[in-house]
Structure 1
Amino acid sequence: MTENDSAAIRATRLRDALFACAAGRNAGLDTILDSEGPQLLGVAHRILGRHDLAEEALQDAMLLIWRKARQFSADSGSARGWIYAILRNRCLNILRDGKRLSLLSPGDLATLQERRQAIVPTEDWEILAAPSRIRDCLKGLDGQSRHIILLAHVAGFSHAEIATRQDVPLGTIKSLIRRGLHALKDCLT
């Protein structure tokens, strides 16, 4: 069995798991957690920088997946991408909320912010995409566009934060993101 065959089997399994959740069968959540649980927790931990918040984000994401599984459409994207998008959005909401972070001392908050600033999702980004069409399309982008898109859509940085981080004008960042996303869309369709 080739790597593409096993990736296709995993993709089908996740899609079927979402359909099971939509039908109210608990086995769908079990399948998602068995297949992607450690990776989901790792992504959440990388975004949030704290294991307890990562676990909370994963639990919240699984609840959202259960509730919104009927909204998933296999025609609009992969099940894996849909699941990770829900987790990412939940993590970003936790970061924006900030109430949970206030439990930390000012020194710990500064350290957490520094860790977030140090996130470079272009290192080993292929792990996040696994063997898939999105991975192939990301490989097709130039390095700067890929890096900026990953900073925005994986690490959760605002366009202004990326502009500051890259020392590039904000308008240039917005243009690069827009062109990169357009190239990804063209590649995926």
Structure 2
Amino acid sequence: MADSTERSTSAEEADQLLLATAGGDTAAFERLYRATSPRLFAVCLRLLPQRSEAEDVLQEVYSNVWRKAAQFDPAKASGLTWLSMMARNRAIDHLRASRNERNSVPIELGPELVDGAEAADQLAHAAMQAHGLEACLDELELQRRTLIRKAFYEGSTYEELATRSGAPLGTVKSWIRRSLAKLKACLER
């Protein structure tokens, strides 16, 4: 049970650090960054193909956190959830912008460069396992788990998920909402 106490403290700490950051406390912002950046970096890595892109997006996320911390409302979501959604949304925006650029500019093929770093999906997978998310995802039904992964890791919209699954849009939204509630409860254990 020590794990759940640590997670609760971590979630509460993130809430408090966000509230202090909203008041302009730079030390709190620094502690928030140190406490949450590995988790947010994993979110970025799951969505973005290159490590450098994930690093750039993470920097943008924390710039936005500094500017928008006053918008955080602990009554609506935990600080960790708010930060994760901000990272996810920014990474998806970056992906969409990159796709538009690739579609409008001809690409010249060249030799593949290898930087020797671990693949982004390996780093993200390791980081997520450390937080127990994979174990919690495995507790969901296969269809719900697939929807969550496609929505959050690939950036699929509700409409795309409804089309792929053959289920009505409202049903897909309900499935995702209930699945997220189950994941939250599992992660808080």
Say yes or no: TM over 0.5.
yes
Partner of 2:116: none
1:17–1:29 Cα contact (<8 Å) kept: yes
- The residue identity in structure 1 corresponding to 2:41 is L
Distance 1:80 1:146, change over 3 A: same
CA contact (8 A) 1:61 1:86 kept: yes
**Which residue matches 2:148?**
149
- Residue in 2 that maps onto 1:178: 173
Cα separation, partners in 2 of 1:150 and 1:77, compared to 1, 3 Å: same
Q: Deviations over 1:95-131 (max 9, x none)?
A: 11127964994658xxxxxxxxxx8xxx969937946
- Identical counterparts, % of pairs: 24
Structure-2-length-normalised TM-score: 0.71
Q: Partner amino acid for 1:178?
A: K
Counterpart-to-counterpart distance in 1, 2:38 and 2:158 = 29
Q: Return 5+ residue gaps in structure 2 as ranges.
A: 111-120
Report the equivalent of 1:52. 52
Query: What displacement does 1:49 show?
Result: 1.0
Alignment partner of 1:183: what SS?
A: helix
2:178 and 2:96 map into 1 onto residues whose CA distance is: 29
Partner residue in 2 for 1:25: 25
Counterpart for residue 115 of structure 1: none
After superposition, the C-alpha distances for 1:32-54 in whole angstroms (9 at most, x for unaligned) are: 22112223222212211111111
Any unmatched runs of 5+ in structure 1? 109-118
Match of 2:128?
127
Structure 1 residues 15 and 2: CA distance shift in structure 2, 3 A: same
Q: What amino acid does structure 2 have at the position aligned with 1:10? A: S
DSSP-derived class of the 1:98 partner: helix
Q: How does 1:50-129 map to 2 (within 5 A)?
A: 50-98=50-98, 102=102, 105=107, 127=128
Contact 2:42 2:128 in 1 (8 A): no
